[in-house]
Amino acid sequence: MNTSLVKKLPTPVYHWLQDIRYGRSPVGWINFGSLGRLKPIRTDFGLGRGLAIDRYYIENFLALYAEEIQGHVLEIKEPLYTEKFGGDRITKSDVLHVEAGNPKATIVADLTNADHLSSDTFDCIILTQTLQFIYNVPAAIKTLHRILKPRGVLLVTVSGISQISSEDMERWGQYWSFTALSIQKLFQEVFEPDKIEVTSYGNVLSAIALLHGIVTEEIEQSKLNYHDPEYQVLITARAVKE
């Protein structure tokens, strides 16, 4: 391509040729197809359709540290992942809920104000998709650290790019979307920096899929497993108490 000649072309034509040259879609060429709509394909994260995108990443993260889900384990709302990943390594399972009335809960407590919970109690705490519904996140992290046993492990997941959960927003309030950096900073206020591992999962395709309620069964696994730090769909943290 004659670069000097191309630069003399009108600006719109020059940019159009540059897009073609570098494999980008020129303005007006993008076909949005089923995604060219103002309302999502499904508004429930795809939960009635298959395995939600964020759940796929959550389960990948917990599978990675499954051996640490052992002993006395605490989980929020229900023992879903305790049972799925802990198996016969579990000696005692507790479930925490913020209000009375949950038949699966063994503990009723607000993590931001839980002085009645004993310190140094749990070998492992599984906290999936919870911190975004807690306004005072630093207070909750301090409680989690306090109730862990020494050398206990906290396994956390939070939302990055995500829709608002209208039901949870109405019931608890949905306050935050996080980044790997914000989670790192928040946990460093309580845990030793070298005892924290923060990872992000997702890419532009999985972000779009999650927002539309498209599920994992509809996307190639290799594409789900490509992680682009500029598109953080899910952020995870593994933190160990000194």
Return phi, psi of residue 167, to 5°. Answer: -65, -45
Q: What is the pLDDT of residue 9?
A: 61
Q: What is the pLDDT of residue 15?
A: 65
Q: What is the pLDDT of residue 33?
A: 87
More confident residue, 46 or 121: 121
Which of 16-25, 93-102, 104-113 is least confident?
A: 16-25
User: Exposed, middle or buried: residue 139 (CB in 10 Å: 0-12, 13-18, 19+)?
Assistant: middle
Report the share of the chain in percent with pLDDT over 70: 89
Cβ neighbours for 207, distance < 8 A, ≥ 6 positions apart: 161, 231, 233
Instruction: pLDDT band for 3, please (50, 70, 90 cuts).
Output: low
Number of domains in the chain: 2
pLDDT at residue 54 above 90? yes
Could you tell me if 79 and 12 lie in one domain? no
Q: What angle do CA 129, 184, 121 make, to 5 degrees?
A: 65
Lookup: tokens for 96 = 């925490």
Q: What angle do CA 47, 50, 54 make, to 5 degrees?
A: 65
Secondary structure of residue 215 in the 3-state scheme = strand
Handedness of CA 100, 102, 107, 112 (dihedral sign): negative
Could you tell me if 143 and 196 lie in one domain? yes
Q: What is the pLDDT of residues 229-242, one digit of tens each?
A: 999 999 999 999 99
**CB 195 within 8 Å of CB 240:** yes
Which amino acid belongs to residue 157?
T
Look up the pTM and report it. Answer: 0.89
Could you tell me if 86 and 156 lie in one domain? yes
Could you tell me if 138 and 186 lie in one domain? yes
Structural domain that includes position 5:
1-30
**CB 157 within 8 Å of CB 227:** no
Q: What is the pLDDT of residues 60-102, one digit of tens each?
A: 999 999 999 999 999 999 999 999 999 999 999 999 999 999 9
We report the CATH number of the domain holding residue 74 as 3.40.50.150
Could you tell me if 23 and 69 lie in one domain? no
Mean pLDDT computed over every residue of the chain: 92
Could you tell me if 43 and 11 lie in one domain? no
Task: State CA 182 to chain mean position distance.
Answer: 13
Could you tell me if 54 and 125 lie in one domain? yes
Could you tell me if 170 and 54 lie in one domain? yes
Could you tell me if 85 and 162 lie in one domain? yes
Q: What is the pLDDT of residues 163-172, one digit of tens each?
A: 999 999 999 9
Could you tell me if 67 and 10 lie in one domain? no
pLDDT at residue 22 above 70? no
Cβ neighbours for 211, distance < 8 A, ≥ 6 positions apart: 40, 161, 162, 163
Could you tell me if 42 and 18 lie in one domain? no
Could you tell me if 40 and 4 lie in one domain? no
